[in-house]
Amino acid sequence: MKRIASYETAPYRTELEVEVVAVRREGDRTFAVLDDTILYPEGGGQPCDFGWLKGVRVNDVRQRKGEIRHYFDEGELTVGRGLLQLDWERRFDHMQQHTAQHLLSALALELFGWHTRAFHLGENTSDIDLDIAAPRSEDVRTLEDAVALQVAAAKRIRTHRVDPEEYRTLEVRSRGLPAGHVGDIRLVEIDGVDLNTCGGTHVGLTSEVGGVKILSSEPQRGGTRLYWVAGARLRRRLAQHEARGAELRAVLDTGDAELVDVCRLKLEQLAQARRRCRLVEERLAQELVGRLLDRSDDMVDYHLAGVEAGLLRPISEELGKRAGERVGFLTCEGDGRFKFSLVQGESSGLEVNRAGARVCEILGGRGGGSGRLFQGVADSLSRRTEAIEFLKQALRQES
């Protein structure tokens, strides 16, 4: 008869004397096989437990080829007796989240006929996939309230195993047994609420879940994914929101009730300021390009020093509209970056992409072009004069 591991029979146990029966390699990883374990191996949507074996940190546990493998990255282990210790904070968090999932899935099915397709216990939030396209917000609130009532009721949670014959006589909520499963079937029962097939770890009373909050939902392959937190995660999330809210209140100098309205006002003011900036940039570009064209012949050469690199684009575009047979070479040193534009007038015969590629080689930069505009970034502008001489020579060859 197959031995049942202690993580299943004693989920609250945090230490266990074990026998290390083997230490082997799997690719570039080392793992230990024990005669028993209190560490849960990843499976069924629940991540594995962490812990310490003879003082060595175990950071992954997997069930493979009929054995439970305890992986470690640092330290050395040898066969023989030793103490296995559980990372209890991580385990209890998983117990809370997994029990909350049972409550959510069972009550979603009971209240609305929603079946759970999948479950994922994440690092910060957990989620279940339901077979309903778009649940109403009031139904989601009803589900959350129903879960809260069962948490407050402190219903007992038990696990036991049944043989396949008995299993077929029971009304069990299940997404199906694993492929190739043989032997007994593990059931998790919440008194008066749920009977479900599951191999994970759970709290002993629903009250230990502490509380469940549904955060959001989104479409997922014809169904809906619900995101939620439970237990200590809920309290941590609330603390984070309160801290963030306090910072926002201080920055915006307002209270909670006005935060959203004040943020909307600030965003609208920012959008207006950006529109005004664009108008100013366009007028500056028009004025500058007019002056540059008045004093140049075949080529416009100009360097913008100490300005925002974003100004290079509107000036380049304005120059492209008005350059005619001329070519423009604009450079900019601003915000700690070096940028350049090569602009071809509508009547110019210069092959701007080929010329731009050569300028990139000279300046030690990279870039690309479309239409009559080639833009790039450079490591330095120390060879700017050499780039200008190349462009002038290219223009002479074209004429």
- Average model confidence (pLDDT) across the chain: 92
Determine the 3-state secondary structure of 364 from DSSP. Answer: coil
- The whole-angstrom separation of Cα 7 and Cα 45 is 16
Average pLDDT of the segment spanning 341-362: 89
Residue type for position 69: R
pLDDT at 192 over 60: yes
Q: Quote the pLDDT of residue 228.
A: 96
Burial class (CB in 10 A: 0-12, 13-18, 19+), 117: middle
The per-residue pLDDT for 1 is 43
- For 43-59, the pLDDT digits (tens) are 988 999 999 999 999 99
User: Given this model, what pLDDT does residue 335 score?
Assistant: 66
DSSP calls for 139-194: HHHHHHHHHHHHHHTT-BEEEEEE-HHHHTTS--B-S-PPTT--S-EEEEEETTTE
pLDDT of residue 109: 96
Residues 6+ apart with CB under 8 A from 212: 100, 103, 104, 144, 147, 148, 151, 228, 229, 230, 234
Per-residue pLDDT averaged across 118-145, rounded?
96
Residue 214, φ and ψ in degrees, nearest 5: -80, 125
Q: Higher pLDDT residue, 323 or 89? A: 89
Helix axes 312-322, 259-294, angle to 10 degrees: 40
| H-run or E-run covering 107 | helix 88-112
Averaged pLDDT for residues 84-113: 97
Which neighbouring-strand residues pair with 244? none
Confidence class for position 266, pLDDT limits 50, 70, 90: very high
Domains (ranges, CATH) in the chain? 6-86 (2.40.30.130), 92-234 (3.30.980.10), 294-398 (3.10.310.40)
Residue 307, pLDDT > 90, answer: no
C-alpha pair distances (Å), 183 with each of 44, 174, 370:
18, 17, 67
